[in-house]
Amino acid sequence: MTIEITSPYDQSFIKELSLTGKNEIDKILNTAQNLFLDQSKWIPAYKRIEILEKTAAIMADRIEDLLVTAVSEGGKPYQDSKAEVLRAIKGVKLAAEHISQLKGEQIPMALTEASLNRVAFTSKEPIGIVVAVSAFNHPLNLAVHQIATAFAAGCPVIFKPATATPLSSLALREILKEAGLPEGWLQIILCDNEAAELLVTDPRVNFFSFIGSAKVGWYLKSKLSPGTRCALEHGGAAPVIVESDADFKEMIPDLVKGGFYHAGQVCVSVQRIYVNQKIVERFIEAFAAATTKLVTGNPLDQKTDVGPLITPKEVNRVEKWVNEAIKKGAKLITGGKRISDTFFQPTVLFNPSEDSKVSTTEIFGPVVCIYSFTNRDEAIKRANALNVHFQAAVFTKNIDIALETVKKLNATAVMVNDHTAFRVDWMPFGGRDASGIGMGGISYAINEMTREKLTVFKSKLI
């Protein structure tokens, strides 16, 4: 069986690739297991550092090629895809640097008579076989976060990219091979859901890394073999609290970027903005004006701000949700219409009902909802009302309000005077509650893919 990779921009054919059948899964797992069980085949730390450093150098020489590949398969505009490629290179460097930080500690002994004549210490070991399933929206950088981290930890990794965007990870694999990655340490497979479930739930898998929908992630977690650890990164419906003293000059560009970056196809995209009633009319006017200036079009055009959605099916869904919100009483401020089979206008809605899809579910499209409030605690309560909690934000110049809001918002990260989609690759990143489990970020992911071993020496001479 094969699958066709097409451009989200115009649905044009890019490449045809073979799918891995479920009868091949056992061989793939055996390859990884044989590498891990034979410690003579483990790659020493210095060699892992060399390979990752060389990988980063090769990537830096091929920025334009990697960029065009990512834009073509994923549809993210040129400038944003360039930022992704540069982040991916930095991520590989961070993975190489963190290898030297994989260390244990001494555990004190002789604190009781029973612990006399002993010395104890912990050390870090690779956890084992890592199976990583990824999403479409950052095809190169997500691959780095799941592949480079596993390799840095010393684990063989089996990587399943999104079927819509596999080309960036395949390009990364070729670069890693060129940099000296031994055979078998990275296996990339494209497969259907049945084969993927067979792979993920196999007892040989020691760690499962998942980036994607909550429905799929939590289902697969429920099927994991006993002892398989996991990290799940799902979506959110990121809330923002805007107080009356917020700085419009700084705030509006940030929030527009955070809402419409990659056409809203970002797990921490700005979705729900709660604005103090005192400034809400001014806010809507400024936000709408900035939104209408966004350029929608060919993602390879460097002037484009908003590109296509990943498939026409997603355009249909977003259109349906927007129409439902308007029917239930939301005021359409700007946008609201499909441009083509693959594009939807950047859209701003005011005060959609609390039971509308746009208020209760991650939109993953170019739609931002604005709500007014008179009581900040009530706004925070509404912001926290959903079961998804990832990143959030507050805009204010009052430090007490900022700190109080940070404390009360249910989120793994709260940005003060910045949009919810801010991220650098060395910071912890992940959802809580229904939004995920475990923590991403290069160093955090590497640590998740290791386990501690305690060594205790007993000697009368100690």
- Cβ–Cβ under 8 Å, residues 120 and 106: yes
Q: Are 47 and 218 in contact (CB under 8 A)?
A: no
R_g over Cα of the chain: 24
Query: How far is 135 from 16, CA to CA, in rounded Å?
Result: 19
Burial of 251 (0-12, 13-18, 19+ CB in 10 A): buried
Known catalytic membership, residue 267: yes
The residue from 73, 267, 362, 369 that is catalytic is 267
CB atoms within 10 A of CB 10: 12
Residue 344: DSSP 8-state:
B
In the set 84, 233, 314, 448, the catalytic residue is 233
If one counts every other C-beta atom within 10 angstroms of the C-beta of residue 237, the result is: 27
Q: Any residues with CB less than 8 A from the CB of 265 and at least 6 apart, and which?
A: 136, 137, 309, 310, 364, 365
CB burial of residue 338 (10 Å; 0-12, 13-18, 19+) = middle
Residue 296 — left, alpha, or beta (φ > 0 → left; ψ -120 to 50 → alpha)? beta
List the alpha helices (DSSP H) in 16-62.
25-37, 45-61
- List Cα–Cα distances, 417 to 70, 253, 397, in angstroms: 30, 11, 8
Parallel, antiparallel, or unpaired: how do β-strands 388-389 and 432-433 relate? antiparallel
| Cα gap 162→132, rounded to integer Å | 11
**Catalytic residues, which ones?**
233, 267
